[in-house]
Structure 1
């Protein structure tokens, strides 16, 4: 199943209110989940996954599955 990963920066003090997102399509959902988990571990970001069937995986679910603090 194909999926798209979108990464949005988290808003924090000193950061402007405007937001930008980086998106990319990944051919396999498992690869998308792994990329999202790496993003959580390395960056202060909010990754979202949207599957080709229209399912949405939230940043909270990704953080829990990655074992990252909330």
Structure 2
């Protein structure tokens, strides 16, 4: 995530339970798209923009990792 989004923090500085958007890590919708594309490429997990679970999936790094673990095909 740090590499793909070119974040100015190191991976160990990211709290896995902190919000990814808003007051947390501060990601935006473009970051979500880039992250979704990388998750699909790397793990075979497709996250569609219209998926009503996206708020939960992208709630935190831990939530995203859990979703990927549950749905990965690669």
Place the TM-score, normalised by the shorter chain, in its bin. under 0.3
Give the greater-gyration-radius structure (CA).
1
TM-score by length of 1: 0.27
What is the TM-score when the length of structure 2 is the normalising length? 0.26
The structure where helix makes up a greater share of residues is 2
